[in-house]
Structure 1
Amino acid sequence: MVQEPTAQYLEQKVTEAKVHFERALACKHTEFDDLYPYMIEHPQFFWYKRYVAWSELLTVVKLCNELKVTWEEQFTSQQVNYIQKRVMSAKVLDYWFETNDSKEHVG
């Protein structure tokens, strides 16, 4: 018997998707690199890697919205705005980490 997802489970999935996206933005290693190691040789790889991570984040947020699970607390208000617009623009790529005129860094 399959259990329905809990709010805590979905919140963890949002955290994982956020970390994946932020690591992709910072050009750090993700599990995607392990799945497609040959793509590292191609310049378009980083755009595709970011697109995949962004899509994952949007999918998890969509599930949270449909199940009425809160996800916004894990993000700055500007990041929430980007996610709600759903379009990964140059602005998202350039300013995702911007908070109060300083940069946050992915661990």
Structure 2
Amino acid sequence: MGNLNAEFLLSKLAGAKEHFERALDCKHTEFDDLYPYMIEHPQFFWYKRYVAWSELLTIVKLSEELGVDWRKQFSQKQADYVTGRVMSSRVLDEWYETNDSKEHVG
């Protein structure tokens, strides 16, 4: 695969990771703009996180199929969660390594 295509895919991966982390942190994402009426729904943040997680998994799957190393964009624990594919409460609670090293999206 050419460097340009790999760079493109890695930039999309970085965007998907940021989108998921913004959803985790309850920050604004494009999902809010697409479904503004859902903000009042009690399950809104769950849906928002699910959409972001699905996007992340899709780009990881494409990366794997195209032979692009996606793991270096994540901590080992995060890569393990992504490989496991299931968004559990543990993933939501432990995505960031520790409270001291949280790198929340600004």
**Normalising by structure 1, what TM-score?**
0.91
Q: Compared with structure 1, are the counterparts of its residues 100 and 31 closer, same or farther at alpha carbon in structure 2 (3 Å cutoff)?
A: closer
CA distances 1:35-80 after superposition (whole Å, capped 9, x unpaired)? 0000001110100000000000000000000000111111100000
CA distance, structure 1, for counterparts of residue 95 and residue 103 of structure 2: 9
**Normalising by structure 2, what TM-score?**
0.92
Shift of 1:100: 8.2
CA distance, structure 2, for counterparts of residue 78 and residue 100 of structure 1: 15
Match of 2:47 in 1: 48
CA distance, structure 1, for counterparts of residue 101 and residue 89 of structure 2: 19
Q: Compared with structure 1, are the counterparts of its residues 39 and 100 closer, same or farther at alpha carbon in structure 2 (3 Å cutoff)?
A: closer
Counterparts of 1:23-34 in structure 2, within 5 Å, are: 23-34=22-33
User: What secondary structure is seen at the aligned counterpart in 2 of 1:98?
Assistant: coil
Counterparts of 1:19-98 in structure 2, within 5 Å, are: 19-98=18-97
What percentage of residue pairs aligned between the two structures are identical? 71
* Corresponding pairs, count: 103
* Misfit runs of 4+, over 4 Å: none
* Greater relative contact order, per chain length (Cα 8 Å cut-off, separation 6+): 2
- 1:68 is matched by which residue type in structure 2? G
CA distance, structure 1, for counterparts of residue 65 and residue 97 of structure 2: 29
Shift of 1:104: 2.4
- 2:75 is matched by which residue type in structure 1? T
User: What secondary structure is seen at the aligned counterpart in 1 of 2:87?
Assistant: coil
Q: Compared with structure 1, are the counterparts of its residues 27 and 15 closer, same or farther at alpha carbon in structure 2 (3 Å cutoff)?
A: same
Q: Compared with structure 1, are the counterparts of its residues 100 and 73 closer, same or farther at alpha carbon in structure 2 (3 Å cutoff)?
A: farther
User: What secondary structure is seen at the aligned counterpart in 2 of 1:23?
Assistant: helix
Shift of 1:103: 2.5
Give ranges in structure 2 of 5+ residues lacking alignment.
none
